[in-house]
Amino acid sequence: MADMTLRRYLTQSALDPNLIFLLEDIASSCRVIANTVRNGAFEGNLGSTNVTNIQGETQKTLDILANDEFERICSNSPRLAALVSEEVEEVTWLKEPEAGDYLLYFDPLDGSSNLDVNLSVGSIFAVMQVQSDGDRNVLHSGRNQICAGYALYGPSTMLVLTVGDEVAGFTCQHGTADFQLTHPDMTVPAETAEFAINTSRYRYWDTPIRRYVDECVAGEDGVRQSSFNMRWTASMVAEIHRILIRGGVFLYPADSNNRKAGGKLRLMYEANPMAMIIENAGGAASTGLASIMDIQPTGPHQRVPVILGSRSEVERLVTYHMSESSAEQ
């Protein structure tokens, strides 16, 4: 049987051809970004600009280049109405919106603090639809996502995609640059002994997060009665990919230091797409108190607390949050 390329996979599905064009444009953007990242040192693209984005973060040169590639390549899609990017404050409208047109939400380069140290980075994206002719509202909840995915620029470049049911992983073949299906039907392993959180923020954490991590760290002697491992790559794409392959839970909670901002990670182009991928792979995604994809957004760059991964661990964390919030009442 012929190799299952991304194109073959998409054309065998019942997707609208215009959505297939868009997904192929996204894949092309990621292919180009992978090369730009890989050649960053030769082309003078490592390091930072002196520009601060809407997040208050200094943009890396590659953040901007990756954003520009998404914009340039995806603008070809005839039914793409608007772009919502981490790196651009306002929504970019490409056409007068008509019902059914597509809206693309993306983090062009995720984990960009890893660039200068040559560690894994990625891109994250989700697609939703315009609800009626002339409707310029882009603030729909994650349940309205019709597909979501990420590209991981690691030792190999991968594209992991869900178009509403299964999660499929494609690896970019060196030479042909084809994305070939290498990881069909990805599922989050149910059992896990691994957690991912930036523990340098321990002093800011709320009780439920401290309790969870303390219990993991206590190992065999603690209430969990088993030994846990910890990983933190500072690149959400790499963490989520590891969880899809090996199980585990990823946390970027709201804490006393980031609560005013709502947390660290952005709802529309980080938390929502990853929540859809993880849920479609059999895992769960929560803020601790609510399901991420049920949040009604208030702004394109809104931040939220994020807990996602193996269902049993996320449920345990939700229980800890619920008992804390009922104790406060």
Calculate helix-pair angle for 61-74, 17-38, nearest 10 degrees: 150
Candidate list 107, 194, 255, 279; residue touching ligand AHG; CB under 6 A:
107
| Residue of 234, 246, 297, 311 that binds ligand AHG (CB under 6 A) | 234
CA-only gyration radius of the chain, Å: 19
Task: Choose the stretch contacting Mn ion; rule: CB under 5 A; options: 105-113, 148-156, 165-173, 294-302.
Answer: 105-113
Contact between 107 and Mn ion (CB under 5 A)? yes
Only segment of 3-11, 232-240, 241-249, 284-292 that touches ligand AHG (CB under 6 A) = 232-240
Euclidean distance between CA atoms 272 and 144, whole angstroms: 10
Least distance CB 303 / Mn ion (angstroms): 11
Nearest-CA neighbor of 280 among 116, 122, 166?
A: 166
Binders in 275-314 for ligand AHG, by CB under 6 A: none
Choice from 110, 194, 255, 313 touching Mn ion (CB under 5 A): 110
Spacing of C-alpha 131 from chain mean position: 24
Applying CB under 5 A, the span of 103-111, 190-198, 207-215, 272-280 interacting with Mn ion comes to 103-111
Contact call for residue 272 and ligand AHG (CB under 6 A): no
- What does the block give as tokens for 83? 């772009």
Fill in the amino acid letter for 84: V
Strands 92-93 and 80-85: antiparallel
Which residues 62-91 are close enough to bind ligand AHG by CB under 6 A? 86
Interface with ligand AHG (CB under 6 A), residue from 59, 61, 77, 112: 112
Residue in this structure with the two tokens 């494609």, named with its chain if needed: 170
**For ligand AHG, which residue of 118, 198, 199, 256 counts as binding (CB under 6 A)?**
198
Q: Which is nearer to Mn ion, 25 or 63 (CB)?
A: 63
Q: Which partner from the list ligand AHG, Mn ion, none does 198 bind, CB cut-off 5 to 8 Å by kind? A: ligand AHG
State which residue, 97 or 247, has the beta carbon closest to ligand AHG: 247
- Using the rule CB under 6 A, is 235 a contact of ligand AHG? yes
Which has the closest alpha carbon to 305: 192, 314, 283, 245?
Answer: 314
Beta bridge partners of 105: 84, 126
Looking at residues 62 to 91 of the shown chain, list those that interact with Mn ion (rule: CB under 5 A).
86
- Report DSSP state, residue 182: E
Report the partner that residue 234 touches, choosing among Mn ion, ligand AHG, none (CB closer than 5 to 8 A by kind): ligand AHG
Nearest 10 degrees: Cα torsion 233, 234, 238, 243: 70
| Positions of E strands within the chain | 48-52, 58-60, 80-85, 92-93, 102-110, 121-129, 147-153, 157-162, 167-172, 179-183, 194-196, 229-230, 249-252, 265-266, 284-286, 303-304, 306-309
Q: List interacting residues with ligand AHG (CB under 6 A).
A: 57, 86, 107, 110-113, 198, 234-236, 252, 264
Q: List interacting residues with Mn ion (CB under 5 A).
A: 86, 107, 109-110
